[in-house]
Structure 1
Amino acid sequence: MEVEEGAQPSVIMAMEKVGAEVRVEETVVLDKGEKIKDQCPDSAVNSESQEEQSGETPPVTMVNNNHAPGISQSLRMEDGEGTARFSPMEEMITKLVEDIKNGFSVSEANQASIKEVCEILETKFDLLSKRTQFLEDTVESLKEDVVQIKQDLRELRACEQDLQDKLERLENAARRNHLRILNIQEGVEGNDIKSYFASLIKNSLQFEETEQDIAVDIQRIHRDPFRRYPGRKKPRKVLIHFLSYALKEKILLKALKQKTLRGNDFSFEVRSDLARSTLNKQ
């Protein structure tokens, strides 16, 4: 039995099985013929012997199976009147071929479905690849932006520190003629606060200048903060703004030398009025 090239293994095994069955069928037919010959009467035997002696045999024709072209061949027996008789083997082969064809149809449908699914997956994979590439590009761009932002932030911090230093210097320059007096009880100054502190400075520091000269050099004097908060026990500090920087420095130096200054019945301190940032550094 010939096998077409490219046939699947299942088809080849089926064809080999069919070929084996055909050979078995031929053997069975021959055996049946011999048995029939043994059971025939003498006249039939003699007639058959005459036919054998004359060399004539019943015609046996090999025909192609139109139902399964290219796969296998089956036997078709003809009787004396020329009537064709198909064996059950031919029907079995035809059914087997039809099953194989149906299997091929199902396999082709499955292949088409698998191909469609593969195309869908390929499309989704391409879309995911594009999205991944877009995200990678975005991340790279963001990394560059972060580096630039960090550089700008360092520059801004340096600029901020420079501005804070300048502001501190300007604030201290604006306070250069100021003195801060601490621990002066509330209300002891009376109504004339300028004359009271001019007398306090002259008497406690033993100044050569008169009280009038000191009072004239005081431009502004007040307590800080302006408002007295309820429940506050500690007295507010007194800020004095002098017109002369030299007089302010002279008073400050004498106060630092004596360390402890005393009034009538209390002690107080004299300090420079500096910016809060400068005081925090000290």
Structure 2
Amino acid sequence: MPNKPKKNAEQATECPRDIQDICSREASAEANKAVLEGIAALQSNFQLFKAEITEVIDKRLDQFSVTIRAELTAIKKETDLAISAVKNTMDGQAKTMAELERSTTYTSDTVCQLQKEVERLTNSVSQLTEKCTDLESRSRRQNLRILNIKEGEESGRKATDFVAHLLKNALSLDALPLIDRAHRSLRQRSDNTSYPRAFIVRLHYFHDWQNIIRKAAQLKSITYNGEKLLIFPDLPAAILKQRARFNRAKELLRDRPGVRFGFLYPAKLRVTHNGEEAYFTDPGKAIMYAEQHFGEGRVSTS
């Protein structure tokens, strides 16, 4: 019996706590409701703001779209015009290129034909030049060229008689050679201080020409009135030019013991060394032969 009042006291203390809980729950419910109402209001405001922004953006996009379309249309027109102009230019250039290709082909074919024709004509000219040189040489076959006769020595006498006696006396010939023509070379007369003009002589008989050339080659020195004479065959300038290419080789061979040299027609150098003969048509090979056998020096005859 004494414990019952204690239980009642505990019950009495528990009742206010439940009331407090209920009150707090009601307060929380009201707060939550207020929050939800605020959230709903915010959502409503956000939807309105969103709609306004969307409307503004749509209007701006429409304006931009119209502007861009207009600009693209203008650019397309300009591009079409430019492309059309470029196409016309390309078409014109294509036609020009086609014409140039045809012209180049024609020119190339023409040049090939001209090259063949030039080669043919060059060969013909070379053959004709060789024939003309040969004919000129044959026409001069009995001619002599005499150098170092003073100007005026023949004055008062026929040139043919003067040269005939000169050759007979200088070469100790048995008889006077028969001479058809004799004259000085056709250039301006030189004074006493310059080299005299050469005498060009035409012999009537070829055996007289051979005899004179042979004796002139045998004699080391031919003099007339104290002057040293030089007697050569009268050759065309083209052959003399070919023979002049051997001058260096002749310098190396001249005055060598046991060496004789001369030319075979038209320009073949014949070298005789101790009974052995060598022939050269190439000046370089003749120089190599002379240098190999005699070196680059020159033997003096003094």
Using structure 2 for the length normalisation, give the TM-score: 0.56
Residue 136 (1) aligns with residue 97 (2)? no
How far 1:219 sits from its partner (Å)? 1.4
Deviations 1:63-109 (A, max 9, x none): xxxxxxxxxxxxxxxxxxxxxxxx9x999978875764455344333
CA distance in 2, matches of 1:95, 1:194: 124
What corresponds to 1:146 in structure 2? 111
Distance 1:94 1:162, change over 3 A: same
Separation in structure 2 between the aligned mates of residue 159 and residue 263 of structure 1, nearest angstrom:
47
1:244 aligns with 2:220: no
Q: Post-superposition shift, 1:260?
A: 2.0
Matches within 5 A, 1:9-48: none
**Partner deviation per Cα, 1:224-249 (whole Å, 9 max, x = no partner):** 12530457611111111122222222
- 1:264 partner amino acid: N
User: Which residue matches 2:223?
Assistant: 262
1:113 and 2:74 aligned: no
Query: Residues 77-226 of structure 1: matches in 2 within 5 Å?
Result: 97=62, 100-101=65-66, 103-192=68-157, 193-209=159-175, 211=176, 214=177, 217-225=178-186
Higher relative contact order (CA 8 A, sep 6+): 1
SS at match of 1:191: coil
Distance 2:199 2:206 in 1: 18
Structure 1 unpaired stretches of 5+: 1-26, 32-86
Q: Which amino acid aligns with 1:262?
A: T
**Structure 1 vs Structure 2 CA RMSD:** 3.2
**1:108 counterpart SS class:** helix
Q: Could you give the per-residue CA deviations for residues 32-75 of structure 1, whole angstroms, max 9, x where no partner exists?
A: xxxxxxxxxxxxxxxxxxxxxxxxxxxxxxxxxxxxxxxxxxxx
Distance 1:232 1:266 in 2: 14
User: CA 1:108–1:256 in 2, change beyond 3 Å: closer, same or farther?
Assistant: same
Q: Residue 181 of structure 1: CA displacement?
A: 0.9
Number of residues of Structure 1 aligned to a counterpart in Structure 2: 198
CA distance in 1, matches of 2:192, 2:171: 33
The letter of the residue matching 1:276 is: A
Q: In the TM superposition, what is the alpha-carbon distance from 1:124 to its structure 2 partner?
A: 1.4
| SS in structure 1 at match of 2:182 | strand
Is the partner of 2:199 in helix, strand or coil? strand
Q: Structure 1 residues 232 and 127, CA, compared in 2 at 3 Å: closer, same or farther? A: farther
Structure 2 Cα separation of the partners of residues 121 and 201 of structure 1: 91
- Residue identity matched to 1:268: L
Distance 1:157 1:231, change over 3 A: farther
Residue identity opposite 2:166 in structure 1: L
Q: Unpaired segments of 5 or more residues in structure 2?
A: 1-43, 244-302
Tell me by how many angstroms 1:141 deviates: 3.0
Task: State the AA in 1 paired with 2:173.
Answer: F
